[in-house]
Amino acid sequence: MEAVQYKCPNCGGELKFKPDTQNFGCEYCFSEFTEQEVREINARNEENQDTSVNNANQAEQNEFNEHTNVYHCGSCGAEIISDENTSATFCYYCHEPVILSGRLSGEYRPKKVIGFQINRERAETIFKDWCWKKWFVPKNFKTTSQLEKMTGLYVPFWLADCDIKASYNAIGKKIRTWSSGNYRYTETKEYSIIRKADIKINKIPADGASKIEDALMEAIEPFRYDEAKDFSMSYLSGFYADKYDVSKAQIFPRIRQRAEKGCQSVISDSVIGYSSVIRTSENYNIINTDWEYALLPVWFMTYMHNGKTYSFALNGQTGKIAGTPPFDRLKCGIFCGITALVVTLITMLGGYFLW
Ligand SMILES: [Zn+2]
Ligand SMILES: [Zn+2]
């Protein structure tokens, strides 16, 4: 009998039979499927196979690789993509000079893109307003030369559409109390709550750039994905892009976590009217994931202060900004000094008033 090799419907890795659970598991993204699920998915994928589509993709891929330049940062290892007419001089991660290292090879052409809607001028204004409220940041943090380091960067994102089989069991209690004569009655009714659902969650985002903190990218969400367009080279003009260095399988645990959260909120919205609910079991199994590789617009900036790098990001579509500003100890020291002085003065004044 010929051995059939099943592919993981979530990340494309090879599935292996697991004797302990009698299921098929993926070693790369840790998904697990029953035999029936694997057969169904396999049959569906065979139907969808179309070689002409693959050839067209390859042509587009080659075109993308031929018209982009890759710059390499010898200091931190970053690889910066630009269109062939936009040259990069410094690394937006570590501010060191970068050198042209040639053309891309591999599959990095994005399928979708959201173009920048916030221009540089607007981004700088938002950033300055945001800094203005933060008194303790060092002086040179807000200077023009620092603002020049702000880079219009297309960050690579994986957007996942997940099909999830959800099952949820809980015990719900409804408690009613009333009085009659000298007696007080409490009635407790227990319900077994069962939910089984097929849930589809679309466009779960996770950035594929390992050099950018996940939390920073999550902080500038959401993007309006309905405005995403098919990618064309013209979007890159004047901007830079990162290529992904985190694979679908590596990112899948993050997607799974967010998908589970989404399911939990859908299900808990349907469990209402109980005095208390105790979950006894819940299971959210992602049985298929459709991926889209997209570039999303971010104004990105790093700042080095006392040997530490601080990163800032501004959503290039909505203007939402995030980052932790550096802290100037000296300024804080002066501020604390002044506060102490004012407090002393007030106390003294208080003393005078008493007197
Ligand atoms: Zn997998
Ligand atoms: Zn660098």
CA–centroid distance, residue 321 to ligand 2 (Å) = 23
Are 215 and 170 spatial neighbours (Cβ–Cβ below 8 Å)?
no
Q: Which two tokens stand for residue 12?
A: 């494309």
| Nearest ligand (C-alpha, residue 10) | 1
Q: What pLDDT shows up at residue 49? A: 65
Cα-to-centroid distance, 149 and ligand 1 (Å): 39
Task: Express each pLDDT in 20-42 by its tens digit.
Answer: 989 999 999 989 999 888 888 87
The reported pLDDT for the residue numbered 184 is 95
Q: Order the strands of the 23-26 sheet from edge to edge.
A: 15-18, 23-26, 32-33
For residues 312 and 310, what is the distance between their CA atoms, to the nearest angstrom? 7
- What's the CA-to-centroid distance between 7 and ligand 1, angstroms? 8
Please give the distance, rounded to the nearest whole angstrom, from the Cα atom of residue 248 to the centre of ligand 1: 8
For 137-168, write each residue's pLDDT tens digit.
Answer: 777 777 777 788 899 999 999 999 999 999 99
Distance CA 161, CA 134 (A): 39
Ligand nearest to the CA of 248: 1
pLDDT of res. 171: 96
Q: Which pLDDT belongs to residue 46? A: 73
Average pLDDT, integer, range 41-60:
73
Averaged pLDDT score across all residues of the chain: 87
User: 255 CA distance to ligand 1 centroid (A)?
Assistant: 12
pLDDT in tens, 234-253: 899 999 999 999 999 999 99
In angstroms, what is the C-alpha Rg of the chain? 28
Going from the Cα of 10 to the center of ligand 1, the distance in angstroms, rounded, reads 5
Q: Work out the pLDDT band at 51, boundaries 50, 70, 90.
A: low
Sequence-separated (6 or more) residues with CB below 8 Å from residue 137:
131, 325, 326, 327, 328
CA of residue 280 to ligand 1 center, whole Å? 28
Ligand nearest to the CA of 15: 1
Compute how many other C-beta atoms are within 10 angstroms of the C-beta atom of residue 111: 15
DSSP string, 267-307: HHHH--S-SEEEEEEEEEEEEEEEEEEEEEEEEEEEEEETT
Does residue 218 or residue 2 have the better pLDDT? 218
Residue 204 Cα to ligand 1 middle (Å)? 16
Tell me the three state secondary structure of residue 233: helix
Distance between CA atoms of residues 28 and 255, nearest Å: 14
Average pLDDT over residues 51-73: 83
Residue 270's pLDDT is 92
> Which ligand has its closest atom nearest to the C-alpha of 7?
1
350 CA from centroid of ligand 1 (Å): 70
Q: Ligand 2 center to residue 143 CA distance, Å?
A: 21
pLDDT in tens, 170-221: 999 999 999 999 999 999 999 999 999 999 999 999 999 999 999 999 999 9
Among candidate residues 176, 170, 167, 207, the one with its CA nearest the CA of residue 293: 207
The residue among 183, 60, 176, 38 whose CA lies nearest residue 112 is: 60
Structure tokens at 350: 């208080």
Ligand whose nearest atom lies closest to the CA of 93: 2
- Using DSSP, state whether 161 is helix, strand or coil: strand
Ligand 2 centroid–CA 207 distance in Å is 19
* Number of C-beta neighbours around residue 225 at 10 A: 17
**In this structure, which amino acid lies at residue 60?**
E
Separation of 75 CA from ligand 2 center, angstroms?
Answer: 5
Q: Considering every ligand atom shown, identify the ligand nearest to the alpha carbon of residue 302 and give its number.
A: 2
Look at residue 19 and tell me whether its pLDDT is greater than 50.
yes
- Distance from the alpha carbon of residue 159 to the mean position of ligand 2, in angstroms: 26
Q: From ligand 2's centre to the CA of 4, what distance in Å?
A: 45
More confident residue, 335 or 167: 167
pLDDT of residue 355: 41
- Residue 354 pLDDT level (bands cut at 50, 70, 90): very low
Question: Which of 190-199, 308-317, 323-332 is the least confident region?
Answer: 323-332
Looking at per-residue confidence, does 308 or 349 come out higher? Answer: 308
What's the mean pLDDT in 265-284? 94
Q: Look at residue 52 in the predicted model and tell me its pLDDT.
A: 59
**Gap from CA of 4 to ligand 1 centroid (Å):** 17
Quick one: which ligand is closest to 75's CA?
Answer: 2
Residue 1's pLDDT is: 47
User: Closest ligand to 92 CA?
Assistant: 2
